[in-house]
């Protein structure tokens, strides 16, 4: 059994206007190593993303990971699959509601002793709901299903 603490920067494009989305991630994972090339685990993270307002995501995920040998410096892989809750820090929009969804996150990198440095891709589904008030048709409920795609650059420490 081993535990892992992680920190990552995330960035990507947001919406049709292509605004830059940036964020930070802090997480912990508990893993069981069956073989150097296969470990299974479960984890939780806190992600904060900024676009036009703050987005707050809390993914809970299962993890498949491994290294390709037991040397001191070795490549590794990680695949996280899970579900994330979501909310927004925008206090201006009282009618804006945000819900989380499915998360998939592959990552590859280099492990040096007990430190992993990697590059990953986070694909996070969210659902938003808000009310538009048009003068010609009145109030209209808008429900959107969005996929947030982010590049992740992170560091984790194995305990």
What is the average per-residue pLDDT within 126-139?
76
**Secondary structure, 3-state, 90-145:** CCCCCCCEEECCEEEEEEEEEEECCEEEEEEEEEEEEEEEEEEEECCCEEEEEEEE
Whether the Cβ atoms of residue 120 and residue 108 lie closer than 8 Å to each other: yes
What is the average per-residue pLDDT within 83-104?
76
- Between CA 39 and CA 59 the distance in angstroms is 19
Whether the Cβ atoms of residue 49 and residue 15 lie closer than 8 Å to each other: no
What is the average per-residue pLDDT within 88-105?
74
Q: pTM (2 decimals)?
A: 0.85
CA 6 vs CA 17, 29, 138: distances in Å:
31, 8, 47
pLDDT band at 142 (very low <50, low <70, confident <90, very high): confident
Q: Is the pLDDT of residue 59 over 90?
A: yes
Q: In this structure, what token pair is assigned to residue 111?
A: 């492990």
Q: In this structure, what token pair is assigned to residue 142?
A: 């808008």
18/133: higher pLDDT: 133
pLDDT band at 134 (very low <50, low <70, confident <90, very high): confident
Q: Is the pLDDT of residue 93 over 70?
A: no
Sign for the CA dihedral angle at 22, 56, 118, 77 comes to negative
pLDDT band at 110 (very low <50, low <70, confident <90, very high): very high
Q: Is the pLDDT of residue 114 over 60?
A: yes
- Between CA 148 and CA 150 the distance in angstroms is 6
């Amino acid at each position: 059994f081993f535990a892992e603490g992680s920190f990552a920067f995330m960035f990507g494009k947001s919406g049709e206007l292509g605004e830059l989305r940036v964020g930070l991630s802090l997480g912990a994972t508990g893993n069981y190593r069956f073989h150097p090339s296969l470990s299974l685990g479960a984890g939780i993270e806190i992600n904060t993303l900024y676009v036009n307002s703050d987005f707050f995501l809390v993914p809970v995920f299962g993890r498949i990971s491994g290294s390709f040998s037991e040397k001191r410096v070795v490549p590794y892989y990680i695949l996280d699959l899970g579900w994330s809750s979501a909310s927004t820090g925008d206090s201006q929009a009282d009618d804006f509601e945000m819900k989380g969804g499915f998360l998939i996150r592959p990552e590859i990198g280099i492990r040096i002793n007990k430190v992993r440095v990697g590059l990953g891709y986070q694909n996070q589904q969210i659902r938003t709901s808000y009310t538009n008030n048009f003068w010609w048709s009145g109030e209209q409920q808008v429900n959107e299903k969005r996929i947030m795609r982010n590049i992740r650059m992170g560091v984790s420490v194995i305990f």
